Amino acid sequence: MAGFFDSKEAMDPEERAALQDACVAKMAEEGYGKAPGFRALLKGLGIEPAGIRTAADLEKLPVISREKLVQMQIAEPPYGGLKGGDADVDRVFISPGPVYEPHLSETDHLWARAYHAAGFRKGDVVVNTFSYHMVAAGLTFHGGLRSCGATVVPSGTSGTQVQVELIRDIGVTGYTGTPSFLLAIIRKAEDMGYDMRRDFRLKRACFAAEPLDPSLRELFENRYGIETYQIYGATEVGDVAFECREKSGWHVCEEVLVEIVDPATGRRTPPGEAGEVVVTRFNSVFFLMRFGTGDLSRIIEEPCGCGRTSVRIAGVLGRTGDAVKVRGMFIAPSQLESLHRRFPEINFQAAVGRSGHADVLTVRIESDEAGLRALQDRFSEAFRQTCTVKIDRFERAAPGSLSGAKRLVDERLRS
Ligand SMILES: [Zn+2]
């Protein structure tokens, strides 16, 4: 079992499948008894809890997207009736939407498998550059690193100079955050006259919330001597999958069930075909079964050289829905519609593109030069408040050119 977080990771696949069936049945039964929203969902479908006894039975339930979850929470605040009535919740996290998520547990070791597989151990000192404010990332990643024994520097969203000083002064050995922010930190360090290999002890990085471009991975590993790993999850369901030393696909965590489904039908795609990543996290707090991440992936069926027997998924291949991730944060169409309600006279479109290794958010507005100048600051501020993402640049669009166009478009090309 050397190298695994626990023996579950080497479980016989048939044993795991039986265990997952039992977890699905338990969660359906418990949710029906404790969570009024989940009970109403099953009753609406004419399904008894005993009708959900295996992982395959999950296909009887609808996929719940982030947008759908927002609607459910608006109808029945704050959790859409999906929280167990007797569940003791220590924290509430907020995602753009807004979506309110009860933290599942303080002792659930979220992200521990992922950080363990990435090699974090006691003796490591890690800067956690994810935000600790409102969102789940900062605190849950922090907990995962602690579960591996690492010391955490909660540097959060501090600027690059502060991060460089922390890495230098504390002798930081590890980084967790987005790849683009690590690149910005390295550039800053170089501007300050440092040599990453000579002057720092940073040797391991674990990325989430943003795709890792292969060229950027090569730069980190070969030029700067920093081992890189990717970890994957969502606030609604916690950690979902992670890379092992083979760096060939992402192992699905033992506490979740991943289905790859056709986004149009909610039914599983044939093995190996791409579809939406749909996640059920086994727990007794938040009865969100079949959360639709909106991410596209496919299952890798071949066994992995690391010895873990869990299913792997082939990274994130793209987005199924209209919600788009910018620098690790989702922008949902519902947010842009609420912005439109504040500026009903303005016809605009938000477009996410890529420049080098960074996401670029462009907003196109139907206006003349003077009108755009007059509007920019006020619009930028409102956009930042609503979407928690900063606009990088504005473009002027010809009158009428955006009518009927999508409010939000993803113009990044996948490699
Ligand atoms: Zn592996």
The answer to whether residue 336 sits within a structural domain is yes
Instruction: State in Å: Cα 64 to ligand 1 middle.
Output: 29
Instruction: State in Å: Cα 301 to ligand 1 middle.
Output: 12
376 and 394 inside one domain: yes
Instruction: State in Å: Cα 415 to ligand 1 middle.
Output: 23
- Domain stop point among 271, 286, 319: 319
226 and 241 inside one domain: no
pLDDT for the residue 258 = 98
Instruction: State in Å: Cα 307 to ligand 1 middle.
Output: 6
Instruction: State in Å: Cα 280 to ligand 1 middle.
Output: 22
pTM, entire model? 0.81
Note down the domain range covering 52.
7-102+236-319
- For residue 283, give the nearest of 140, 69, 117, 102 by alpha carbon: 102
40 and 85 inside one domain: yes
Instruction: State in Å: Cα 287 to ligand 1 middle.
Output: 29
pLDDT for the residue 328 = 67
The arithmetic mean of pLDDT across residues 117-136, rounded, is 96
Instruction: State in Å: Cα 304 to ligand 1 middle.
Output: 5
pLDDT for the residue 1 = 44
Q: What is the pLDDT of residues 304-318, one digit of tens each?
A: 999 999 999 998 877
Helix (H), strand (E), coil (C) string for the chain = CCCCCCHHHHCCHHHHHHHHHHHHHHHHHHHHHHCHHHHHHHHHHCCCHHHCCCHHHHHHCCCEEHHHHHHHHHHCCCCCCCECCCCCCCCEEEECCCEEEECCCCCCCCCHHHHHHCCCCCCCEEEECCCCCCCCHHHHHHHHHHHCCCEEECCCCCCHHHHHHHHHHHCCCEEEECHHHHHHHHHHHHHCCCCHHHHCCCCEEEECCCCCCHHHHHHHHHHCCCEEEEEEEECCCEEEEEECCCCCCEEECCCEEEEEECCCCCCECCCCCCEEEEEEECCCCECCCCEEEEEEECEECCCCCCCCCCCEECCCCEECCCCEEECCEEECHHHHHHHHHHCCCCCEEEEEEEECCEEEEEEEEECCHHHHHHHHHHHHHHHHHHHCCCCCEEEEECCCCCCCCCCEEECCCCC
The answer to whether residue 42 sits within a structural domain is yes
Instruction: State in Å: Cα 250 to ligand 1 middle.
Output: 7
pLDDT tier for residue 104 given thresholds of 50, 70 and 90: confident
Q: What is the pLDDT of residues 259-281, one digit of tens each?
A: 999 887 899 988 877 789 999 99
Instruction: State in Å: Cα 315 to ligand 1 middle.
Output: 13
The answer to whether residue 107 sits within a structural domain is no
143 and 129 inside one domain: yes
116 and 226 inside one domain: yes
The arithmetic mean of pLDDT across residues 395-400, rounded, is 92
Instruction: State in Å: Cα 120 to ligand 1 middle.
Output: 16
pLDDT tier for residue 415 given thresholds of 50, 70 and 90: very low
Q: What is the pLDDT of residues 46-64, one digit of tens each?
A: 999 999 999 999 999 999 9
303 and 275 inside one domain: yes
Instruction: State in Å: Cα 205 to ligand 1 middle.
Output: 18
The answer to whether residue 253 sits within a structural domain is yes
130 and 219 inside one domain: yes
User: In total, how many domains does the chain have?
Assistant: 3
Say if residue 321's pLDDT is above 50.
yes
82 and 134 inside one domain: no
Instruction: State in Å: Cα 117 to ligand 1 middle.
Output: 9
Q: Identify the CATH number of the domain in which residue 359 sits.
A: 3.30.300.30
- Domain stop point among 232, 256, 291: 232
Instruction: State in Å: Cα 339 to ligand 1 middle.
Output: 44
